[in-house]
Chains A and B, each alone.
Chain A
Amino acid sequence: MDMEFPDAAELEWLEANASYPDEEEDDLEFDDDFLQQPPSPSGSEQITSQPDPKPTLSLPPKPSLPKPQLPINSRKRFLPDDPESLSDDRNAVVITEEKRSRVEDNDEDWLRYSPPKQPEEEEPMVVEQELEEEPEEKILAKYALEIDGDCTPVTGLDGERVYAKICRVEDERVKKLEVKGYSTGLIQEPVRVLMQRVERDQFTKALEASSEDLSEANVPIGAVVTEQLWVDKYAPSSFTELLSDEQTNRQVLMWLKQWDSCVFGVEIKSTTDDVLSSLKRHSLAVQHPRRSSKSSFGNSREPRIDNEKAHNDLHPENSDSDRIKDLWDKKHRKGGPPEQKILLLCGPPGLGKTTLAHVAAQHCGYRVVEINASDDRSSASIEAKIHDVVQMNSVNADSKPKCLVIDEIDGALNDGKGAVEVILKLVSAERKLRAGKENEPEGGNAGKKSSKKRHHKTSLLRPVICICNDLYAPALRPLRQVARVHIFVQPTVSRVVNRLKYICNRERVKTSSIALTALAEYTDCDIRSCLNTLQFLNKKKETLNVLELSSQVVGRKDATRSAFDIWKEILQKRKVKQTKKSFNCFSSVSNDFETLHSLISHRGDYDLIFDGIHENILQLHYTDPVMQKTVQCSDILGCSDIFHQYTMRTQHLSLQVYQSPLAMSIHGLVAQIGKPIIEWPKSFQRYRTMSIEKKEILHSWKNKIPPSISRHLSTKSFVEDLISPFLHILSPSTLKPVALHLLSEKEKAGLAQLVNTMVSYATTYKNIKSDPSLVMHHGASDVSMLALDPPIGEFINFKGYDSCHIVLASAVKVFLVHEAEKQKILQGSSNLHSPPTGAERQDVLRCENSSTMSKASVSSDKTIHFRDPSRQKHYDLPSTSSQNRRSAGGTTASGKVGLPERKKKPFADSRSFFDRFRKPSDKTPQDNDHAKLKQKLEERDSRPLLFKFNEGYTNAVKRPVRIREFLK
């Protein structure tokens, strides 16, 4: 294997660098400067914004900046260069924390509960896990006045806000719980608190046991006691706090909302006026069945026990609300559950997929049931679970409807499939049901009930959210088609940084936004790993250091990306990297190198990666005047193939590591800034399956050909030498579609030869439907046409190639089929009946048919042997063949006609043959019987019979017969 490729890549790289030597020098200077004054403008901004200027980096800060351009530059380096996020970030930095969150709120005002409330609410909720109190609810809305007492805001999908009335539930409820707790002896505190306490106790115990010097350990214990993982602590608990892309968030929420009509029996999606008016009517008129689902999904703890009771009582009697529900259901049956019943969220880890699913589901009033990778995933158990969640209505009326979240559905391949299968089964059953239901007449209440019953058996009644990392995992393929897919993209760095800063402030950790930005970039905006790192550093009493980031981040996530991402990385040059290049050329190149390397080797599926490169590389637009790059690339591809083959053969799988540099050198050669159009490598797979198919055809053909011929041919020689001339031979131009007796002697001989060839090579014509793809080069436009039976024609039917083969007229084909069929049967029968005396057999046949052939023509020479019967057939079969042609029955018909006819002859023949033996013994008794049956019967009755049985002698009945009886 020659190693020119990496060299070439290196050269390329050197070339690239050589073009800006002075820039590089500048960069180095610049770098030095930067090292001396790390707190760049954002740091200083922080200083202005916050009362106490804290040095965030390990190096001393220098507020005065000698170069005016520097800050912008360095800033750019750490922030994505779109101006929006920049300004966003600035804003966020300048304003204080509460304001910041308000800004965020404003972004999402369409879903806002009550903007000013939000920040206050946040604290108690997060820190103490207290339930929120509503202090200022009444002030807010236009329609709130119509409701006396407290109310809760509910925002529709279109941003319209309505207010549902609530009573002062919270205190009552708490009290009630407590009362209940005291009276029934159940726990008074939430389980969570208890669990925490237990954990804390255990932890302190463990600490006490392990640590010798308690005095030192005391401080950490204090910290530990109150501290939980920041990731959990600051996990978004409401929809507005989500960090992930808003577009996705909204879509997910929208999807969940579509379920409302199905799950809660309330139409949410309709026009605002409609909803508002109906709601108003509802809330005014029907005051007490307050479990109107509106409120129940808006705020979780509302439904009071008395209300529940009322509901339970009302339920069987078809209460008002139920009636309304039914009415709405009927009205909006079409707008029931969404078209795609499954939501598939995918994206790299740490972007908040799970969080989004949980928060969104909670927001919409569901109770989340999560099935995780760690749970039992066998098909049976998961089916039971899903059925539980999806189809059962909660008996315990207090609880909310459930929403199923299947996390890491792509995780385990063989077991994970269980879940996918079950879901697919549910979905398909649902489809069928719906199809059936459309045929059903629209029934009233009763109809609805019955359909509901059936729903219980099969359908999905609750939303299912699946979460995966790799959308293109093979197990998910079927699911992808039925599910609604949302792909998570990284949140913008600024968002993540804002969040991190907020948390850092809360935790009183000193950081700078540069460091945080660097951290966020380093972890690919994986906020989980950011937080873990920060917490870890905080524990160690270290500060985040930009320069030692890579050593400080504890767990670099081992992310496997999808194949598409990798191809994109390989074939596309990163823009950001270029700006970095001006900074520090060498390190950025090596960085680039490293990231690509880790990316490819994490994925590992080199075969697929190179297939993809091969598929897409020629579609790229790179400058290549004499195609040198292309040559290099294809050489590299070839190299990787040889490499792959070698490692597979020798099973030195560890050598696979060296595949990724090959891919990287391709990156160096052809990567462009423009976004490549990447396709999944299909053509190689297609080729593989097609060629296997064709090989199969060849094999079966070869097996059909009698061994005396096929033994001389390999499949290779079939395609290489045989097929083209064979097709010519099979379609002679001289063959005319006329009746057999009109042919000259020579033509008949030719025909016989042709039929003989067809039989010996086991080919025939067959009726095929005129499928445009199968019409091949024949070009004929018959509705049903005859094609060669092993489809040999396909083998020369290349795309964009016109072969000059003559096509026989279909009448000729029919005729040929017929003849071949006859020939085959003839051969078969002669082989079957009397293999050793084949010649004699033919002889007999010919005699019987009173053919014109002389008996002497029988000889061992095969040519004559074969020609004779066919010719003889020509004489006796014109009628049937013409008949056949008229009926246009094709193979089957002609087979049927031919078969019995041929079959008959040997049969008749054998009978006469047998008769020869039978005659002497049979004749006399037969004559006797026929002539004198009646007489004998009479006589036999009159005389005494004498039976004498002699073993082994004869089975005839003996009795005395007089001579005169014979003479009569």
Chain B
Amino acid sequence: MMIFFLQLSVLFLMIIIFNSFITNIESDQGISLTPVLNGFASVDVQDQSGLISKYINPSVINVIPSNFSTSLNNIALGKTTGFLYVPGNAAEKIRTGQSIDMIVYLDSSDPKSSVVRDEVNSTAKVISQSYSNSLSASATPQNTTIPTINQVSTGEPLPLQIIKKVMLVILLFLPLLLFGNIIIDSVVGEKERKTAEILIAMPLSQAQIIIGKSMAVALTISLQVFMWLIILLIAGFNINNPLFVFIFIFLTSIPIIGITTVVAAYSKNYKEAGIGLSIVYIGIVGFLIVPVLFYISRKSFLSNISPMTIVMRLFSGESISLPDYALALICILVVSIISYWIAIKLFERDDIIFGPRPGILRLIFDLITFKKF
């Protein structure tokens, strides 16, 4: 029950995070995933006309009206990151169509000087563009032919894809990685509680024990994934083909349970299993996520080796060809067969269940030479 509560609270927090990210992204003109830091850097400004300073983005830069000598002193004392000097006659120059020369003084000892430089540069560009347009409008006759620029965009912006697709697919796969402890408890727990002997003495084969335990966990995971999907759909997430998404996540859980069972079957105790599981799960997460990111940047066929890519494509409503499905399914099948075979073989060995446990190198040697294995 505790684990279920934990997972649901994680899900609710993630939904809030997603929504705030998407709101931020969709409300901003420029799409980025950088932190929103109020007053991260500060800049003193001497701008009597007030024409320039009002364009500086106040959400990152704290704009402080000041004068030349005070501001240079503030920079020397490290009280401000930069100082923007706009000539006093800027408004007059704009009126008479003359160019404006601004100076920005930056404190090189402050790492945030690049943030101020970038912001002041962007502001200067915006003003320059608008000023340039008004100058050209007044300098050229009205019947002058102007080349038109037609801009056409295709595809979804990358940050939006990362938030909407990658984070959602990670969320959908989360239950698969949260149930590792149940498998550990189910296999290592039997060893620690010394009930493994009784279990082995029962009229069941080792294969039946391993598969039986794995099936119980797989069913629990499927229930969790089902609940997860319902909550996400209620929360307004756009998930196309929910049934196929569910089936693919469930299928992916089978090899993951198999790999976890291998770790559990080999481990002596909870602690050892915990370390093993952490390391193995880093590898599994990498194997699942890297092809997804690769698919987003370059839509290559090999990216479909990760079932996560297929799930992402399924809920995005993309059409998926049969070879793409086949690649992911073959991967699931091969990893499942190998992992369950190793887990069963390990569970069949008395030296692993009751000790003294052989080392990993010894086991690999036995596997290569077909001894005992």
| A and B form one complex | no
A-binding residues in B (CB < 8 A): none
Residues of A at under 8 Å CB distance from B? none
